[in-house]
Amino acid sequence: MKVLVTGAAGSIGRTLVRGLSGLGHELRGLDLVDGPALPLGWLVGDCLDPAVADEAVARVDAVVHLAGNPNEASLPESLESHVQTTGRLLEAMRSHGVSRMVYASSNHAVGHTPSGEVLTVGARPRPDTYYGVAKASAEALLSLYADRRGIGSVALRIGSFGDRPGSVRELSTWLSPDDAVRMVDAALRSTEPGFHVLYGISANTRAWWDLGPGRALGYDPQDDAETYADGVTPGPDDEAQNAYVGGPHVSQLQLPPAF
């Protein structure tokens, strides 16, 4: 499959460029900085630029959209970074007849949900920050384009991506690099129409989130944070971080004025 990866120079982007290439996908990268040579090329630019988005989407079969500010910002900045970029790419996809997007959403779209019971994808959006608001809004935009434009999409509510879990919370929310590749590959290959949400975590023994929707789309995670549990040192903030899905985004970040 010919795939555009936006944000391809980021931590998850670099992992996907290596892993998806190994699974037979032909990739094009897009980022604000240069990157490795890829079969479909590498573009340096901002996907908010309509000319950049148009060139990036041309002659691909699907888009993996990772680009965006990973940190908290003002409400306008967050919406621009996550919603407007998604809209710009969706319009370019419509123009070029590209009918599949895999979107890097976040657990922070539901981050203010109390932890405890297993969280399903049917839970209402409860963002914990403006970043979370933007991710939830981008999901709504994907749903609109699935219903009105026929562009199928999968929103990946990613947990804690990294080589290994580093906190007690991450024993529940960890997503391994290998499982990230498996997850995106499954979302790309799925033929299910419409808009779908899955939780982006590995097969963690202590998982807070329902993996069923991901498995239904073909995502079969193989790693478990419990493998590293003996190396995780409990800390004084664990209780506060484990109280809500969003962890420190709820317990430590103060919500500033929106503008």
3-state secondary structure 150-187: CCEEEEEEECEECCCCCCCCHHHHEECHHHHHHHHHHH
Tokens of 19: 């892993």
As a whole number of angstroms, the distance between CA 123 and CA 27 comes to 34
Of the residues 103, 130, 131, 145, only one is catalytic, namely 131
Other Cβ atoms closer than 10 A to 6: 29
Tokens of 97: 């007849």
Q: Is 131 a catalytic residue?
A: yes
As a whole number of angstroms, the distance between CA 62 and CA 246 comes to 29
The per-residue b/e assignment along 134-168, b for 16 or more CB within 10 angstroms, e otherwise, is bbbbbbebbbebbeeeebbbbbbbbbbbeeebebb
112: left (phi over 0), alpha (psi -120 to 50) or beta: alpha
Give catalytic residues, as residue numbers. Answer: 131
